[in-house]
Amino acid sequence: MMNEFVSRAIEDIEIRELFGILTGAVAPRPIAMASTISKDGSVNLSPFSFFNCFGANPATLVFSPSRRVRDNTTKHTLDNVIEHPEVVVNICNYSMVEQVSLSSGEYAGGVNEFIKSGLTPISSNIIKPPRIAEAPVSFECKVKDVIALGDQRGAGNLVISEIVYVHISKDVLNSSGKIDPFKLDPISRLGGNWYGRITADSLFEVDKPLGKPGIGFDALPKEVLQSEILSANDLAKLASVSELPAITEGIESENNIEQKHTQAKACLLSGDVDQAWKILLA
């Protein structure tokens, strides 16, 4: 069944409503707790969810302190990175979520959000802004460029930052020395007052189609492609094999198509794509 849509031209949507649509739909988003200093040395700490990584060589993080929708004013973080082009991007986890929210209040210039939020500043190794002691991961960055995307309410400002030093808490590493998503326990931002958190029920793995590309939906047998039992995700798993398997003899399979597809779906659910194909082709 096809979705029904509410479709509108962008110019017909008021900026505040559009902001809500964007933050509600483009989600979940990671949160950067940006620590900066002004030219007179005042420290500022503020969270931004218009944020992500954009390369490893050079190691680049980008976040956007947008102009306020309410009155078109700019944020202290933006002013600071222009005056003093350094920033610590701290990754936030669940144990910090209320302090992260508290730090987002619109305090007057010169107010130190470390003090207001109860988070602990700790000296960085290379740059002047302090990092957050409680953060599981912190990136000391040099700001390479600030790109204004507009001068009206809601316009973004891309702060392009190159990582020069990394701090990772040993508490979030697994036995192989890699970051464990459960130990990291990162939080994410959605629309309105909503945040997200990784749990055992919400986290799953999907194998990347490395090497040979999958055969694709167009190579699936018609009977499989038009199945009323197999979902689009099921079909994508079947289409991820590099070649259509040969018809296999001696595999027990139901003669009824619905039962056969139900049996194959159970194999796909357990991650056994090969057995699912054997059942479908038997």
Is 211 contained in some domain?
no
- Statement to judge: residues 93 and 166 lie in one domain: yes
Is 274 contained in some domain?
yes
Choose the final residue of a domain: 197, 226, 243: 197
- Statement to judge: residues 185 and 252 lie in one domain: no
Residue 64 belongs to domain with CATH number: 2.30.110.10
Is 2 contained in some domain?
no
Choose the final residue of a domain: 149, 165, 197: 197
pLDDT computed for residue 253 by the predictor: 56
Domain with 253 in it? 217-281
pLDDT computed for residue 22 by the predictor: 95
- Statement to judge: residues 48 and 141 lie in one domain: yes
- Statement to judge: residues 164 and 229 lie in one domain: no
Q: What is the pLDDT of residues 90-108, one digit of tens each?
A: 999 999 999 999 999 988 8
Q: What is the pLDDT of residues 138-186, one digit of tens each?
A: 999 999 999 999 999 999 999 999 999 999 999 999 999 999 999 999 9
Is 212 contained in some domain?
no
Total structural domains within the chain: 2
Is 119 contained in some domain?
yes
Which residues pair with residue 243 across a beta bridge? none
Residue ranges for the chain with pLDDT beneath 70: 1, 210, 247-255
Is 129 contained in some domain?
yes
pLDDT computed for residue 199 by the predictor: 87
Is 245 contained in some domain?
yes
Burial classification of residue 37, based on how many CB atoms lie within 10 Å of its CB (0-12 exposed, 13-18 middle, 19 or more buried)? buried
